Amino acid sequence: MAIKDEEAEALREVVGVFSDADTLQEAIDELTTSGFGEAEITLLAAERAVVEKLGHKYKKIEDLEDDPAAPRADYYVPVEAVGQAKGALMGGLMYLGAFAGAGAVLASGGALASAIAGAILAGGGGGLIGAVLGESIDELRVRYFDEQLAHGGLLLWVRAWDAEREKRAVEILRKHSGRDVHAHTLPAAA
């Protein structure tokens, strides 16, 4: 009877390895449009987090596929959302700089024309800072992918609450060139 209780609490997940960010994103996109929630989709955390949690570096991504202790990162944010975030960051800093510049000129007794010129200059500076920060976002994404690809691929896990969802997740990962796609049981504490 104890075995049956453990089986009832067992959680299943599907795992696959991807050779590039584009096919990984295509798989994630299809998973989310097929009813899998963002909380059911995880990726391997950055290499630093893996080393911190496991206490050692890993050589091959396959060494972590079925390791329930491998640190996970939440669902990967779509490329479009990153572009929107970068635009908002650049635009927000541009407007903040422009208002601050105009306010400073007006507060010092400057004329409206000077305030407008100050706003343009300060806004450009804020936009430049936003652009630099936006490039940092891209660099972090590239470094994240490069680290994992150097170890053999991009690792993706999908929680499957029942046999039907497990089968669907396997199909989607294979359809999008996932390799070593398989399901495994997680310990109940996972």
Average pLDDT over residues 146-158: 92
Identify which of 71, 69, 87 has the alpha carbon closest to the alpha carbon of residue 79: 87
**How confident is residue 87, by pLDDT bands cut at 50, 70 and 90?**
low
What CATH number is given to the structural domain containing 165?
A: 3.30.70.120
The verdict on residue 176 lying in a domain is: yes
The verdict on residue 1 lying in a domain is: no
**How confident is residue 58, by pLDDT bands cut at 50, 70 and 90?**
confident
The verdict on residue 177 lying in a domain is: yes
Angle at 36 between CA 30 and CA 40, to 5 degrees: 120
When divided into structural domains, the chain yields a total of: 2
Residue 130 and residue 174 in one domain: no
DSSP code of residue 162: S
Give tens-digit pLDDT for 15-54.
999 999 999 999 999 999 999 998 999 999 988 888 888 8
Q: Which of the two residues, 90 and 175, has the higher pLDDT score?
A: 175
Cα distance between residue 53 and residue 69, in whole Å: 8
Q: Which of the two residues, 176 and 187, has the higher pLDDT score?
A: 176
pLDDT at 95: 46
Residue 91 and residue 31 in one domain: no
Cα distance between residue 73 and residue 67, in whole Å: 14
Tokens of 120: 């343009």
Q: Is the pLDDT of residue 117 over 60?
A: no
Contact 158, 169 (CB under 8 A): yes
Q: What residues make up the domain containing 95?
A: 81-136
150 to 7, 117, 146, 147: CA distances (angstroms): 36, 49, 6, 5
The verdict on residue 53 lying in a domain is: yes
Cα distance between residue 31 and residue 28, in whole Å: 5
pLDDT at 75: 67
Q: Give pTM, 2 decimals.
A: 0.65
Tokens of 100: 């601050």
Residue 130 and residue 166 in one domain: no
Residue 74 and residue 164 in one domain: yes
